[in-house]
Structure 1
Amino acid sequence: MAVVFKWLLRAAGGMIVLALIVVVGLYLLLSRSLPDYDRTVTVEGLKAPVEIVRDNANVPHIFGQDDTDTFFGLGYAHAQDRLWQMTMLRRTVQGRLSEVFGTRTLNIDKVLRRYDLYGLARQSVEVQDAQTMAALNAYSAGINARLQEINDQALGRGAPEMFLFNAPFSPWQPADSIAIVKLLGAKLSPHLEEEVLYARSSLALQDETRLADLMPLAPGSGIAALPEYAALFPHSDLTQLAHAGTGVANPLSPFQHRAFAGASNAFAAAPARSASGGTLLANDPHLGFEAPGIWYLARLELQSGGVIGGTIPGVPAVLTGRSAELGWAITSSYMDDQDLHIEELNPENPEEYRTPDGFKPFGTARSIIKIKGADPVTLTRRWTENGPVLPGSHYNLAEVTPPGHVASLSWTILTPRDTTLSAAIALMHAKSVPEALDAGRFFIGPSQNLTLVDRDVIAMKTVGAMPRRAARHESQGRMPSRGWLPENRWQGISPYSANPEFVAPAGGLLGNTNNKMVDRPFPLHVSFAWGDTQRVHRWRKLMQDREVHTRDSFIEAQLDTVSFTARSLLPLIGADLWFTGESAPDGTPERLRQDALKLLAEWNGEMNEHLPEPLIYAAWLRALQDRLILDDLGPLAHEFTHPDPVFIERVYRDIDGAAVWCDVKQSSPVETCTDIARLALDDALVWISDNYGTALESLRWGDTHQATHDHPVLGEVPVLRYFVNIRQSTSGGDNTLLRGRTRGSGPEPFQNVHGAGYRGVYDFADPDSSVFIAATGQSGHFLSRHYDDLAQLWRRGEYIPMSLDPELARAAAVGVTVLQPATQ
């Protein structure tokens, strides 16, 4: 027995030693790709030395002798820190993920091949201006110089993920950067899904008029009655809905649920409304969380002066930030830049489709998709005069496509003449608001609201191509329309002057929270689906409560966690429940409900991570919407993942008879809205009790509202996920200015998955007092201390200096990289 025990000890010891050797070896292997920021490197493609000074937050300050050398330095820095992220962005837009990840990404590749965003980007290279082409070529050369260095010096393939996945990195080209800008459009344009869901809901509802409740317009607007969707195809069977449901989103897919379309906040103050006498600007663009985050902080020294702010790896531009004279901010405009068309096939020849001039053949092209571990797939792309033909699985298009028809998409970014990147480069060189507004005319998409300040003037302009629709369009772009009717086809692009514009407003304040900006009749309406009807009310109050503002008051507004929605809806839905009835015995559901109502009655609507009330409120609202719509929509109700405050308000104020939603159709009694509110609260408390216990006072919103900066590839790998995922308790919610959009579905519906990956506040009375922050860290290498070093600052609402002073950057810098030309 002793001998056996001795050998077992030896075996266990050997296994431990072997495991340690493997871990140490793996660390040494993966750590070779950690960049050395303090060195001199000889590279090809430079005219003069470039200095990359990394401040103590690892933000690169890039100093070149001219603009091309500076953009070369930015490309090199991006490749040092975010090579894997750039690989993934490029492979995604090219439709080449399956070469690395196999069949799990095949459907993503198929859709992106049909869009042909990369092919359109390659054609768009020819229409960039000379300044932009010089920047693109220099930036590409900088990336490729880093790749050459990695290959020559065996620097661990440039990123740890490169060891785990066979993802060869080919030389970067200008088209790659243009394509990534186009890819952002897939993340920021919700109208395709909005149209499909509108049509599906039209088919599901017995009372068509109730669509105005379920998918309401932003308050303050009106629209003429639309036809029932089924009426557009009277001879087709559109009544058998599959109700596929949202399912689990692939973290590698750019096609997210409409609830996660781009959002953001931006606001500005003129000198008359600023305590310092200078203009103020704040911006926090919102995108889905991931690790590393999409934003990369950088400063560029251009011939026109320094610029600093947020860049996206793969794109040679500061997309939100400032120079010494100008600040610019972006928010999603929600311009309706997509239209779905139902195309009728020729019954005699399915390779033809109906047009106003008769049947015509589809445009076709074959595309081969290579798949890791499987045979290649040959995809036949088809397109019509309206745009590419999409598969029925994309956003459940099959449910609204009659037999003998296919769906095609018109989309502004599906153009071979995309000058958006030229606009972004020109914006960095602009010295004033008028110059910046002029640069905006070259934006194509994704459309944005561009908020601008110089030292004297504030302005906001919607930039991006706005489709020109016929006034007789049968669906006005709210749901798919018949593609062969001339009135349903786009009539071109509206002139830039038709885009909404606000310059030097009399009140001295401007802002956008993705809210409705203009109330214009169709077809100049801009959009029927806006991103916010709630946050703007809180923003307006915070702005109007002060006669003058400061940098700090703008920071307070950016970090504000008070929910206007909670303050307005809770008194409405709980009107007949507060403090009613006798005190119930401890331990009963009635007592739990009374305790919950008591907590909510004394709550000010602050979505603070340390409080229990936000969780009770959020769970109640979620259960309430489910109770209201499930019996009317059936499985389709699961597509409505987030409570719509306007819908709930319409129901509880009985606007246009909307209180009918409270009656459960399948039951004999007629339920009142008070009944449904009580039942929904009980549902919420049961869910909370099952997951967090019945001690309501000890609940903590931040425990369930955790920001999930997860690695999109390694984030689900056992053990490794603890190193690559960044999870943090956070305040805020769906409708607060400090927006933390919840997941909305699954076992953890209140996880914070979408919000401000970048925050910046700029004061032009003292520009170097401006501040900014990113949500994770500058490095994409999970072994780097800069992978998550900004995350805790971001969570606590702290910022780092946003200065153009080179000496401040050099103070306590983590390293200085000098790129030396190979020949001088």
Structure 2
Amino acid sequence: MPQSSARPIRIRGLGRLLVGTILSVLLLIGGALLWIRASLPPVDGSETLAGLHAVVALERDARDRVSILASDPEDLVFGLGYAHAQDRYFQMDLLRRAGSGTLAELIGSGGVAIDRGARLHDLAGTARASLARLDPNERALLDAYVRGVNAGLASLTAPPWEYLLLRQSPAPWRPVDSLHVILAMFRDLQEETNRAERALDLASRTLDPSVFALFRLSPGPWEAPIEGSAGTWPKARIPASGPATEPTASDPASIPDPMPAGSNAFAVGGALTQDGRALIANDMHLTLRVPTVWYPVRLQRTGSNPLDAVGVSLPGAPALVVGSNGHIAWGLTNSYGDWLDHVVLELDPSDPSRYRTPDGWRNLERRTEWIPVAGQDPVRFEIQQSIWGPLVGHDPDGRPLALHWVAQEPEALNLRLMRMVEQTSAESALQLAPSCGVPAQNILVASDSGEVGWTILGRVPRRRGLDGPRPQRWADGQTGWFGWLEPDEVPRIGPDRAARLWTANARVIDLNEQHLLGDGGYDLGARARRIRDRLMERDFFDESALFDIQLDDRAELMEGWYRRLNALVQARPASLERSALLKLLSDWDGRASIDSVAYRLTREWRTAVSAAVLDALNQPLTRLSNDYRLADLPRTEVAVWSILRDPPDWVPPGYGDWTELENRCLERVIAHLGTAERWSEHTWGARNRTAIRHPFSPLLPSWVRPWLDLPPRPVPGDSNVPRVASPTHGASERLVVAPGAELRGILQLPGGPNAHPFSAAREGDYDAWVAGEPVALLPGPARHRRILRPIAND
């Protein structure tokens, strides 16, 4: 009998244990949710703070967009830092660590590879040296911004929620960290390993000269420069024996379908608008993530030198990146000039630790970097250093190569972009731009007096003897970099009231001037050409006309591919498959539209054919290296299409003729579509669906992700149309504005200012961004107001 009564006791005990466990889990989850909610910023009320000269007000509208009102320049950037920290401190932390080589210290081993790149180039050293060189006024503004950042972080009841998951605490912001943020953008916008130059070297050594010429064509047939002209299609002369200078049996490398980075900016002078103001549009195409790259803000300053500016800022940096101040408006696209060069080192035969310089022999330096890693031992990283940069490998002749990059130069990094918001004419803005220390950008400027102009924003090195396909020796003192171009030496267009200007990462100017900037992989030009043609269609413009161009998804580059594919299918023998394919191709409308099966079929066939051709042409390069490929080079479309439009006698190995290659590529595409009954489901929108995620999203359970990520949506557009779009890449903002008429302006962002899971405006303009609906540039009426007061007699 005692044994029979023990079982209910054990069951009751287990029940109590289970209930206790559930309660503990619920309490843990509840506590975590309360902690996360506590990291929402306080947006009302007031606070008394040290470091202010006068009262600062932060107003937020229904979309959570912030307006900062102050009477003092330092107080204004204090308010900007405060807002950045309240809404984006964790993003700022990631950026400063990516730019200084300390990311692994926060996130663990996943950051080691990123840290290696920063430490290889000693970006932290660049930042320290640049900080010491700052203009006193810039330093005073930076210090005010830093005070604001730390005050904004301190205003949170709990640190940003990401630190809870990492079991870390946020470190205070320092002045040098804002320079690290800018260096992180250098890393994002410039290819820091200079792969294309290595691939070009290999190609020049292994390809028949007639084949190599296909990859060096300039000007190209798709280009649409503002100054100068486009080229014509070259004839592909490939020897029947193949593309190599000598036979090779190496296997080719696999070629992916890359998504080129890029942006659009275009402007029209006041002679082409109703009110005489110039008009500008800008959409910067970047990797899309949660939170958005940019932070929308309005900066208002009263007093003897008033300011009312609106646009987007980069959290961590005290400047308006693009926007309008009522007098001028400006927009940016990446310039893709040649901002990196490999340098061949001449070693001393009697002492390989020494290398020749213009001043004689010098010893290679060795640096030991220790990368802190959260939860693990630090990682040791050894670097050999020359005066021209770190050693990164050897050329095919076995000679050591150093890598020189503008981001290694303290003179290339400063905070003069803060001055852009104070400019009142296109002329003064264009004069300022080349002295700003940022990753070199094309800048378009429009003014309220109707003028528009273009130049380079960022320092341009004075390069000599570096236009060939192979790395050079710099030891003779005649070849290399020799300081920086002065602002009046940097190419410029305008200012002009009657001009139509455009830039889409392609060549902007005549080749006679392009050599000053070099070729760092500028774009093919299809986007630029479409934008140019749209601008030439009209005599007068308003904001809606420019916004419509931003959303243009007509795929002119794909038209030729579609006609070729349609002819290929038409030539096939009659069959059910042929009929099904022709039906799929019948919905072609010339656009990268979400409902089109024909566009997706054409796009994927183009990828397969291009890969087959480039794989075959790449085969000679593998005789020397499998690390670099022809696909690393820019504008490979020219080489591939030149071959297809006038096929040479040579045919890639494994194919009987070019028609067989094209048909077999089509069969590979069809195989990925599954059964014929489901082919019609494979629209472009089914593939081109947004995947805009928080960096923590892949690490968390799937049920949590909807609270962090933006909902997936099919989007029109592609890489060679004005509306650039892929699942993880596209318009990080869309801005259209005439300076002085900001009330009519447009500003879209794919997400809200604060991506906090509990923020009511977390998704921001995302639905409008997907649908292509305009969103007002200026913030709406204030829903919240936070007052920052100075300490009396501070």
TM-score (norm 2): 0.87
Aligned to 1:156: 158
Against the structure 1 CA distance between its residues 639 and 786, is the aligned structure 2 distance closer, same or farther, given a 3 Å change threshold? farther
| Residues 6-57 of structure 1, C-alpha deviations (whole Å, 9 max, x = no match) | 9988877666555433322221121110112112122221111110001111
Aligned residue identity for 1:501: R
Q: Secondary structure at the residue paired with 1:367?
A: strand
**2: CA distance, partners of 1:575 / 1:55:** 52
1:435 Cα deviation (Å)?
Answer: 1.4
Aligned to 2:243: none
Asked if 1 retains the 8 angstrom alpha-carbon contact of 2:459 and 2:484, the reply is yes
Identity of aligned residues (%): 26
Aligned to 1:335: 337
Against the structure 1 CA distance between its residues 69 and 162, is the aligned structure 2 distance closer, same or farther, given a 3 Å change threshold? same
Against the structure 1 CA distance between its residues 630 and 432, is the aligned structure 2 distance closer, same or farther, given a 3 Å change threshold? same
Asked if 1 retains the 8 angstrom alpha-carbon contact of 2:255 and 2:615, the reply is no
1:181 Cα deviation (Å)?
Answer: 1.4
Matched, 1:616 2:618: no
Aligned residue identity for 1:618: R
Matched, 1:551 2:551: no
Any gaps of 5 or more consecutive residues in structure 1? 223-238, 248-256, 393-397, 743-751
Aligned residue identity for 1:786: A
**1: CA distance, partners of 2:99 / 2:649:** 45
Aligned to 1:226: none
1:451 Cα deviation (Å)?
Answer: 0.4
Aligned residue identity for 2:121: Y
Matched, 1:482 2:467: no
**1: CA distance, partners of 2:377 / 2:747:** 48
| Residues 348-398 of structure 1, C-alpha deviations (whole Å, 9 max, x = no match) | 4343223355531124444332223333234444322322333x4xxxxx6
Against the structure 1 CA distance between its residues 765 and 287, is the aligned structure 2 distance closer, same or farther, given a 3 Å change threshold? same
370-379 or 752-761, which moves further after superposition?
370-379
**1: CA distance, partners of 2:648 / 2:171:** 59
Matched, 1:438 2:444: no
Q: 1:69 aligns with which of 40, 64, 75?
A: 75
284-293 or 183-192, which moves further after superposition?
183-192
Aligned residue identity for 1:631: A
Q: What is the CA RMSD across the aligned residues, in angstroms? A: 3.3
Aligned to 2:559: 567
Against the structure 1 CA distance between its residues 242 and 621, is the aligned structure 2 distance closer, same or farther, given a 3 Å change threshold? closer
Aligned residue identity for 2:733: Y
Against the structure 1 CA distance between its residues 631 and 260, is the aligned structure 2 distance closer, same or farther, given a 3 Å change threshold? closer
Aligned to 2:652: 664
Aligned to 2:451: 457
Q: 1:708 aligns with which of 673, 685, 691?
A: 691
**2: CA distance, partners of 1:817 / 1:242:** 64
The 5 A counterparts of 1:406-425 are 406-418=400-412, 420-422=414-416, 424-425=417-418
Matched, 1:492 2:475: no
**2: CA distance, partners of 1:201 / 1:731:** 36
| Residues 540-586 of structure 1, C-alpha deviations (whole Å, 9 max, x = no match) | 22111222111111111011111111123322x3374253355313x
Alignment length (residue pairs): 752
Asked if 1 retains the 8 angstrom alpha-carbon contact of 2:254 and 2:615, the reply is no
Asked if 2 retains the 8 angstrom alpha-carbon contact of 1:121 and 1:179, the reply is yes
Asked if 2 retains the 8 angstrom alpha-carbon contact of 1:114 and 1:382, the reply is no
Aligned residue identity for 2:786: T
**2: CA distance, partners of 1:328 / 1:604:** 34
Against the structure 1 CA distance between its residues 31 and 638, is the aligned structure 2 distance closer, same or farther, given a 3 Å change threshold? farther
Against the structure 1 CA distance between its residues 115 and 638, is the aligned structure 2 distance closer, same or farther, given a 3 Å change threshold? closer
Q: Secondary structure at the residue paired with 1:800?
A: coil
Against the structure 1 CA distance between its residues 215 and 605, is the aligned structure 2 distance closer, same or farther, given a 3 Å change threshold? farther
The 5 A counterparts of 1:601-612 are 602-612=587-597
Asked if 2 retains the 8 angstrom alpha-carbon contact of 1:578 and 1:601, the reply is no
Asked if 2 retains the 8 angstrom alpha-carbon contact of 1:567 and 1:604, the reply is no
Q: Secondary structure at the residue paired with 1:84?
A: helix
1:772 Cα deviation (Å)?
Answer: 0.2
**2: CA distance, partners of 1:772 / 1:326:** 16
Against the structure 1 CA distance between its residues 112 and 694, is the aligned structure 2 distance closer, same or farther, given a 3 Å change threshold? farther
**2: CA distance, partners of 1:166 / 1:801:** 39
**2: CA distance, partners of 1:102 / 1:639:** 34
**2: CA distance, partners of 1:421 / 1:242:** 49
Matched, 1:798 2:783: no
Against the structure 1 CA distance between its residues 245 and 12, is the aligned structure 2 distance closer, same or farther, given a 3 Å change threshold? farther
Asked if 1 retains the 8 angstrom alpha-carbon contact of 2:252 and 2:618, the reply is no
Aligned residue identity for 1:415: E
Matched, 1:212 2:213: yes
1:95 Cα deviation (Å)?
Answer: 0.6
Aligned to 1:382: 384
**2: CA distance, partners of 1:494 / 1:545:** 37
**2: CA distance, partners of 1:433 / 1:694:** 59
Against the structure 1 CA distance between its residues 623 and 167, is the aligned structure 2 distance closer, same or farther, given a 3 Å change threshold? same
Aligned to 1:236: none
**2: CA distance, partners of 1:506 / 1:660:** 52
Q: Secondary structure at the residue paired with 2:266?
A: strand
Q: Secondary structure at the residue paired with 2:713?
A: strand
1:58 Cα deviation (Å)?
Answer: 0.9
Aligned residue identity for 1:514: N
Against the structure 1 CA distance between its residues 821 and 626, is the aligned structure 2 distance closer, same or farther, given a 3 Å change threshold? same
Aligned residue identity for 1:193: R
1:763 Cα deviation (Å)?
Answer: 2.7
**2: CA distance, partners of 1:344 / 1:103:** 36
**2: CA distance, partners of 1:783 / 1:211:** 56
1:640 Cα deviation (Å)?
Answer: 2.9
Aligned residue identity for 1:499: V
Aligned residue identity for 2:705: R
Q: Secondary structure at the residue paired with 1:459?
A: strand
The 5 A counterparts of 1:343-742 are 343-356=345-358, 358-390=360-392, 392=393, 400=395, 402-403=397-398, 405-418=399-412, 420-422=414-416, 424-455=417-448, 456-471=450-465, 473=466, 476=467, 478-505=469-496, 508-521=499-512, 523-524=515-516, 526-527=518-519, 529-571=521-563, 573-574=564-565, 576-577=567-568, 579-585=570-576, 590-591=577-578, 594-600=579-585, 602-634=587-619, 640=631, 644-654=636-646, 659=648, 663-666=651-654, 669=656, 671-672=657-658, 674-689=659-674, 694-719=677-702, 720-726=704-710, 727-740=712-725, 742=726
Q: 2:121 aligns with which of 94, 115, 123?
A: 115
**2: CA distance, partners of 1:156 / 1:240:** 62
**2: CA distance, partners of 1:145 / 1:764:** 33
Q: Secondary structure at the residue paired with 2:289?
A: coil
Aligned residue identity for 1:725: D
Q: Secondary structure at the residue paired with 2:700?
A: coil
1:534 Cα deviation (Å)?
Answer: 0.8
**2: CA distance, partners of 1:706 / 1:764:** 35
**2: CA distance, partners of 1:547 / 1:304:** 35
Q: Secondary structure at the residue paired with 2:284?
A: strand
1:757 Cα deviation (Å)?
Answer: 0.6
| Residues 586-625 of structure 1, C-alpha deviations (whole Å, 9 max, x = no match) | xxxx43xx43344435512211123222221221111111
485-494 or 615-624, which moves further after superposition?
485-494
**2: CA distance, partners of 1:246 / 1:138:** 49
| Residues 142-169 of structure 1, C-alpha deviations (whole Å, 9 max, x = no match) | 011123344xxxx222x11111224443
Aligned residue identity for 2:133: V
Any gaps of 5 or more consecutive residues in structure 2? 222-229, 233-247
Asked if 2 retains the 8 angstrom alpha-carbon contact of 1:245 and 1:639, the reply is no
Aligned residue identity for 1:320: V
Aligned to 2:87: 81
34-43 or 104-113, which moves further after superposition?
104-113
Asked if 1 retains the 8 angstrom alpha-carbon contact of 2:326 and 2:740, the reply is no
Aligned to 2:764: 789
Aligned to 2:317: 315
